[in-house]
Structure 1
Amino acid sequence: MIVSQPVAESSPGASLQNFPRLRRGINEVFPELPDSPNPEENLGRRLAQSDRPLRIKLGIDPTGSDIHLGHSIIFRKLRAFQDEGHTAVLIIGDLTARIGDPTGKSEVRKQLTAEDVERNAQTYLDQLRPILDFDTPGRLEIRRNSEWLSKLDLAKILDLLSRMTVGQMLAKEGFSLRFEKENPIYLHEFLYPLMQGYDSVAVAADVELGGTDQKFNLAVGRDLQRYFGQRPQFGLLMPILIGTDGVQKMSKSLGNYVGLSEDPLTMYSKLEKVPDSLIAEYFELLTDRPLDKLPENPRDRQKLLALDVVTQYHGEAAASEAQKAALTLVQGDAKRAEAVPEFSLETVEFPAKLFYILGASDLCKSGSDARRQIQNGAVRIDGDRVSDPNLTFDSPDELKGRVLQVGKKKFVRLV
């Protein structure tokens, strides 16, 4: 068996032009021939011609207890399909989670107990309520893949295993890297893509959603559906969200995440500091706002992003209070935002060290005083303490709109 590969296309998602909310932010659809009249090769045509709601599959393995905004991208896309009238099939991988998806892992995952998985699953569902439509009849099915996977006998498992070669498995990125480094690969891990693929057969999925790192698994689902006589699903891949550090993918272990269960003030404070380079992507993937109507000022965009996202998960009133509280934290004793004086970065030659900016803005008496204040922990940027006296900024864009603070009463807004 050859694992399906996406059909080359000149404009990813072009066949979805009539479905702007479904098209928004996607990385790839496969197979996808935008000009093809065949609904087997054109998701837009499949959506338009179907005489029934399509079944949109998303599988989640509750291997932890928290969901962050990086995870939310794909659930928001699932909600978009719900709002178009289709059925979201949310599969809780209560059996596959006990293996753990080997995708992107340099070593075998720790196996979880059934109790661990069920406890995590409940916390996941609680956190997903602000995103998915749980109430409209016919819009959501919640299934656990132990319903069908636990019933597979050895003959059926052998049949599934015969659908794929060891070479094909080793072509999967995570496995190939581990093989090259001579890290152990256990046989039960080879079962994971087949089990996830069989989930598509069990629920008769029309479309499966996944991150760009799930392409292999989604393609296996297409192949197994074809083998079992079903119409193969489309694969729809969403991008991986870069974390608030602006460098690596959002991850709790890296500390660059915004959790869905975090309090409004924590969420707001993190989001209003998202690097300018990520603002457009965050708006596209985490909100429904028109991208051509965003504020021009970077600081205003940050505030709007934070307010929008917090509103989604905590409501408008809580988001407004979080915004006021965040402003108070940044300003210290300053009573109003207008009371913070501005300092023009046009007078600074970049690259520039922070201690120089502190001296030039008259927040500190001199460069040596500025270094001393930084070392004493008295200097903050947007409320975050700075500890490196040699911190350097390459461009004024890194500082525009931010509040520079020394002690409790000295502030300037950098413009």
Structure 2
Amino acid sequence: MSEEIASQLEIIRRGTVDLISEAELSSKLTKKKVLNIKAGFDPTAPDLHLGHFVLLRKLKHFQDLGHSIHFLLGDFTGMIGDPTGKSETRKQLTKEEVLKNSKTYQDQVFKILDSKKTKIVFNSEWCLPMKVEEVLALTAKYSVARLLERDDFSKRYKSGNSISLVEFMYPLFQGYDSVVMESDVEIGGTDQKFNLLVGRELQRDYGKEAQCVITLPLLVGLDGEKKMSKSLGNYVGISESPIDMYGKLMSISDDLMWNYFELLTDVAMTQIESWKSGMKSGNIHPKIVKTEMALAIMDQLHPKEENRSAIDEWNRIHDPKNRSIPDDIQTVQVGSEFFADKNPQLAFLLNKFEFTTSVSEGRRLIKNGGIYVNDEKISDEAFSLEKGNEYTIRQGKKGKFIKLVT
């Protein structure tokens, strides 16, 4: 193995769970200087977060190494809905919803990837024109028994929950994408491993060279427990402002920080181990290391000067000696309709006025002590507002404010 290929493999390996197989990948790199790298995204939601960033960074690694990136937007499969990890049949999206989300995805993706060196493809280009006999030929390549080996299908089948035939088609169409695109490598999360391997097998069935498969771990969210998800409110959006991004990243546990370093930054592992030792011995404060982590992530998404200004502002707001309310604080008049039945809960109002993305996120923040009302920390998830008062709300970890006038 040449030094160049060994160097590429070292970069590619970082943060991966599966590499199937390294010997094959080494062979491809030897035979072909430029590999076709595939990663598929079903545009079922409009916003990307740091969980998606893990995969996008690996694409960036390949791009920086001179390989060809094929960013597949599954506008066709997105209308089917990926059944991965679901306990019941998913609601199918309309073509209009998928196309709208696809446009938003592209705007965000090019914050990370070089638009001039990235090929955006849509699988409707080859899936929609397929004739019935072509679809039947595709289904003949795989048995129902093999599809039921997939963990989520197996669990649903055993528990008596329905599985539509359309859902069975999803991994086949995703695999067929690899056949058409002639991908050398496909990258996805560990939850996509079954689908990626289907693509590998279908390529062989269609007389093509099998792709290598790389899986990456699912990023744990800010709560330190569940995978990052917008619906759970434990996420950091890649388009969020620097000050919001910094505040959220500073809220994670010290233990989780090391995982973020490995998956979301290119900081050398030797440096990370040095910081670990320094924190363990008490020679370095965790906040210093966590700030380094936050900057290493933020500098990939925002201009460096904006990030450092945001951190200065965040520290100014959170300095107990100099805590101040911004001049441009959002003020909302809470109408009498909110008090028609009973006093409204704060978590509900925070979501209503777009301070949080969901009621559950508001409840989680309150429960974890992340919300201050008139500079007093609250922890009661059912905290309610009374009529005839002013409430200055601060999200403690982010320095984010809103004033509710009842």
Q: 1:278 to 1:142 in 2, by over 3 A?
A: same
Q: Is 1:25 matched with 2:15?
A: yes
1:114 maps to: 95
Q: Distance in 1 between matches of 2:98 and 2:183?
A: 24
Match of 2:291 in 1: 303
Q: Could you say which residue in structure 1 is the equivalent of 2:179?
A: 201
Q: Which ranges in structure 1 are unaligned for 5 or more consecutive residues? A: 1-14, 33-40, 336-373, 389-402, 405-415
Structure 2 unaligned runs (5+)? 279-284, 324-365, 381-395, 398-406
Q: Which aligned pairs between 1:335-374 and structure 2 lie closer than 5 A?
A: none
Q: Report how far residue 16 of structure 1 moved.
A: 5.6
Range with greater deviation from structure 2 (294-303 or 153-162):
294-303
Distance in 2 (alpha carbons) for counterparts of 1:164 and 1:65: 32
* More helix, by proportion: 2
User: Per-residue CA shift, 1:271-309, capped at 9, x if unaligned?
Assistant: 012111111110111111113224433211111111222
CA deviation after TM superposition for structure 1 residue 45, in Å? 3.5
Superposed displacement of residue 329, structure 1? 2.2
Partner SS state of residue 170, structure 2:
helix
Kept after mapping to 2: 8 A contact 1:16/1:22: no
Matched, 1:166 2:148: no
99 and 379 in structure 1: CA distance in 2 versus 1, 3 angstrom threshold: closer
| Compared CA separation, residues 298 and 44, structure 1 to 2 (3 A) | farther
TM-score w.r.t. structure 2 length? 0.75
Once the two structures are superposed, what CA deviation does each residue of 1:316-335 show, in whole Å capped at 9, x if it has no partner?
A: 01111111121122214438
Find the aligned partners of 1:134 and 1:82 in 2 and give their Cα distance: 11
On the 8 A contact 1:16/1:23 being kept in 2, the answer is no
Residue matched to 1:314: 302
Counterpart amino acid of residue 161 in structure 1: T
Secondary structure in 2 matching 1:160? helix
Runs of 4+ in structure 1 deviating by more than 4 angstroms, as ranges, are 15-18, 377-380
Q: Is the 8 A contact 2:8 2:65 kept in 1?
A: no
| Structure 1 residue 184: Cα displacement | 1.3
Relative to the length of structure 1, the TM-score reads 0.74
Letter in 2 for 1:275: S
**8 Å Cα contact 1:16-1:43 kept in structure 2:** no
Amino acid of the residue matched to residue 30 of structure 1? I
Matched, 1:211 2:174: no
Indicate the RMSD between aligned Cα atoms, in angstroms.
2.5
CA distance in 1, matches of 2:8, 2:131: 45
Contact 1:273 / 1:302 at 8 angstroms: preserved in 2? Answer: no
Does 2:101 correspond to 1:141? no
Q: What is the DSSP-based 3-state SS (H/G/I as helix, E as strand, rest coil) of the residue aligned with 1:243?
A: coil
Give distance in 2, aligned partners of 1:378 and 1:45.
52
What is aligned with 1:88?
69
Report percent identity of matched pairs.
44
**Corresponding residue for 2:220?**
242
Q: Residues of 1 paired with 2:8 and 2:377: CA distance?
A: 48
The Cα shift of 1:66 comes to 0.6
Structure 2 partner of 1:271? 249
Cα drift, residue 115 of structure 1 = 0.8
Taking the aligned partners of 1:315 and 1:308, their CA distance within structure 2 comes to: 12
Indicate the residue corresponding to 2:205 in structure 1. Answer: 227
Q: Is the 8 A contact 1:223 1:232 kept in 2?
A: yes
1:34-53 matches, within 5 Å, as 41-47=23-29, 49-53=30-34
2:108 to 82, 107, 127: 127
**Cα distance, 1:386 vs. partner?**
4.8
1:330-367 CA distances to partner (integer Å, 9 max, x unpaired)? Answer: 214438xxxxxxxxxxxxxxxxxxxxxxxxxxxxxxxx
Partners of 1:93 and 1:146 within 8 A in 2: yes
C-alpha change, 1:326 and 1:162, in structure 2 (3 Å) is same
Aligned to 2:50: 69
State the number of aligned residues: 325
How far apart are residue 75 of structure 1 and its match?
0.8
